[in-house]
Structure 1
Amino acid sequence: MDQRKTVVVTGFEPFGEHTVNASWVAVQELEKLGLGDDINLHVAEVPVEYQAVQNLLPSLWKDHLPQLVVHVGVSGMATTVTLEQCGHNQGYMRMDNCMFCPVSRCCVDGGPDCIHSVIDMDMVCKRVNSSGLGVSVSVSKDAGRYLCDYTYYMSLFVGEGRSAFVHVPPLDKPYSAEDLARALRAIIREMLEHMETQQTNTHCLHNP
């Protein structure tokens, strides 16, 4: 019987000025690199469409039964690899690639305003930064109220907090796709280790 852990990692398709989306390029590089023999890695490209995310996210969790789902997105403002601590339910007003925006401006009607990952991103950040990786990692609590934040919230909601979101800078500003893949590999392995020690704490840490 396969005792390996299962991890799903997603990147996004191109949108706006990001005609090549660094997140999906980095995830494809990560797929080549792998997460190690003890981990089954599945990757998927996520459309920059609210309705597609609503359909795709539950099926990723159901089909793969992963221990962890990590979503990777690009941020034109980022200069570091940024770990997002939480996803937000409301405030979605930007049109997606289909020129659609949720009428309710939210992800899940009646859902909590904010859901935190069960992973302590500050701790993961410190450990990766002290590992001599050569890629700078930081932590954020605002994923931007667009498809990144929307996807993260949906995944946290469906996966009961066992999800993570990583923002990467555009390619070569300053990191190559290979640099980003190495950083993602280190981050994800650190997250899994952290989750193993935190198994008693599997509930959502969102505000009541």
Structure 2
Amino acid sequence: FGPFGEHAVNASWIAVQELEKLGLRDDVDLHVYEVPVEYQTVQRLIPALWKKHSPQLVVHVGVSGMATTVTLEKCGHNVGYKGLDNCRFCPGSQCCVEGGPECIDSIIDMDTVCKRVSALGLDVTVTISKDAGRYLCDFTYYTSLYQSRGRSAFVHVPPLGKPYTAEQLGRALQAIIEEMLDVLEHSEDKINCQHEH
């Protein structure tokens, strides 16, 4: 995400730029976008990106001023959006998708990803959350989950230096996304095997 509120520099964008420098494994095409903190832009941009790239997975990264760990979000919420965005706008319905389910879970097993990344011994703590905060992070996550039938993930990072450097966050994102892809590929192999029998 881009800047908003007291976050004149958004740690999530800096972390993603570090990830872009590091790259992912060779068979992965990484496309990186900075998303403005605006509800209406998100509603237009997220479906457009899904359409343009037909990705295997979309991972959104946002900053949380309250976070002290790198946090994997399990689900996105549809209702309860009252905070004004950078355009001083808030959806009149206070929801992402009218008539959509209240909550959509990612198809990625975040507990498994968290355990695996923690076992790598990085100098970053990774935790799990079920509440992405009912602001643009949660709004974007739900929009993406709805669009992709759960094929999205969301990672919250703390502000820079509280306690991690951009480089530490970039390395953590690299490890997290590689584990997510691994988990996703294995769950799909299982599904495909079941169809063949």
* TM-score calculated relative to the size of structure 1: 0.90
Q: Select which of 108, 124, 143 maps to 1:135.
A: 124
Q: Select which of 54, 57, 82 maps to 2:43.
A: 54
Shift of 1:49: 0.3
Q: Select which of 73, 76, 87 maps to 2:76.
A: 87
- In the alignment, is the contact (CA less than 8 A) between 1:26 and 1:177 conserved in 2? yes
Provide the C-alpha distance between the structure 2 equivalents of 1:77 and 1:38, rounded to a whole number of angstroms.
Answer: 35
Provide the C-alpha distance between the structure 1 equivalents of 2:65 and 2:149, rounded to a whole number of angstroms.
Answer: 29
Q: Which has the higher strand share?
A: 1
Provide the C-alpha distance between the structure 2 equivalents of 1:65 and 1:29, rounded to a whole number of angstroms.
Answer: 24
Provide the C-alpha distance between the structure 2 equivalents of 1:123 and 1:193, rounded to a whole number of angstroms.
Answer: 11
The equivalent of 1:147 in structure 2 is 136
Matched, 1:156 2:145: yes
* TM-score calculated relative to the size of structure 2: 0.95
Q: Which has the higher helix share?
A: 2
Matched, 1:73 2:49: no
Q: Select which of 8, 13, 17 maps to 1:24.
A: 13
Provide the C-alpha distance between the structure 2 equivalents of 1:132 and 1:195, rounded to a whole number of angstroms.
Answer: 22
- Structure 1: segments with no counterpart, 5+ residues: 1-11, 203-208
- Structure 2: segments with no counterpart, 5+ residues: 193-197
Q: Select which of 16, 23, 35 maps to 2:24.
A: 35
Number of paired residues? 191
Which structure has more relative contact order (CA 8 Å, sep 6+)? It is 2
Distance 1:122 1:56, change over 3 A: same
The equivalent of 1:120 in structure 2 is 109
Q: Percent of aligned pairs with the same residue?
A: 72
Q: Select which of 150, 153, 158 maps to 1:169.
A: 158
Matched, 1:63 2:47: no
Q: Which amino acid aligns with 1:127?
A: R
Provide the C-alpha distance between the structure 2 equivalents of 1:201 and 1:104, rounded to a whole number of angstroms.
Answer: 37
The equivalent of 2:195 in structure 1 is none
The equivalent of 2:90 in structure 1 is 101
